[in-house]
């Protein structure tokens, strides 16, 4: 959804549903499976636009340990600040401050809410998606999902460097 900033005097409120097909989603590991429900307030200032709101949707992703698919209920509160590229200093040696890192640049008089929502979802994703906090993952030898089955690979596995120590320990007992 494109917002025409010339139509906003100071601030405006939006409540929109954005279809997954309208979002430029290039992520292979995570899929959008439901429309994005976006509620936001857009506040316009001197060459700056502040977007504050909430995004709700459901994503589908694979667990980082066992690769089972998991639905991720996503409920994100966000604040995004955009500065018109024309008003942003472009000195080659510009000292950036911490607050400058939270600013995105835009050109023209339009803001794409689908793109804002996409960025906010990607920022909020955990680095490792897990199906549960106690996921056991896959066996490194036979690739059995250890959450649903067990294997005997680790019982057979003997590190030759410690084979003599194991033998001595077994004799002792």
Residues 113 and 57 in one domain: yes
103 and 77 in a common domain: yes
Measured distance CA(139)–CA(151) in Å, rounded: 8
Question: Are 83 and 120 contained in the same domain?
Answer: yes
Quote the percentage of the chain above a pLDDT of 90: 37
Kindly state whether residues 78 and 109 are assigned to the same domain.
Answer: yes
Phi, psi torsion values for 117, nearest 5 degrees: -65, -45
In this prediction, residues 38-48 reach a mean pLDDT of 87
Which token pair is 106? 């835009």
Tokens (6 digits) for 57: 């949707």
Whether the pTM exceeds 0.85: the reply is: no
The answer on 172 and 94 residing in a single domain is no
Both 128 and 140 in one domain: the answer is no
pLDDT tens digits along 153-172: 866 656 677 777 778 878 88
8-23 pLDDT per residue, tens: 888 989 999 999 888 8
Per residue in 61-87, pLDDT (tens digit) is 999 999 999 999 999 999 988 887 666
Question: How high is the pLDDT of residue 29?
Answer: 81
The count of structural domains within the chain is 2
Backbone angles phi, psi at 73, to 5 degrees: -70, 120
- Determine which of 53-62, 85-94, 138-147 has the lowest per-residue pLDDT on average: 85-94
């Amino acid at each position: 959804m494109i917002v025409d900033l010339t139509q906003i005097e100071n601030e405006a409120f939006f409540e929109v549903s954005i279809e997954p097909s309208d979002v430029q989603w290039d992520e292979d590991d995570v899929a959008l499976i439901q429309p994005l429900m976006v509620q936001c307030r857009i506040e316009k200032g001197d060459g700056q636009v502040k977007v504050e709101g909430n995004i709700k949707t459901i994503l589908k992703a694979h667990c980082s340990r066992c690769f089972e698919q998991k639905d991720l209920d996503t409920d994100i509160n966000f604040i995004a600040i955009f500065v018109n590229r024309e008003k942003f200093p472009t000195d080659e040696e510009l000292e950036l401050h911490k607050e400058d890192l939270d600013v995105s640049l835009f050109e023209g008089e339009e803001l794409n809410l689908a793109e804002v929502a996409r960025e906010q979802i990607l920022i909020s994703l955990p680095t490792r998606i897990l199906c549960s906090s106690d996921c056991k993952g896959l066996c490194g030898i036979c690739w059995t999902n250890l959450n649903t089955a067990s294997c005997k690979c680790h019982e057979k596995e003997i590190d030759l460097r410690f084979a003599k120590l194991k033998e001595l320990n077994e004799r002792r007992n």
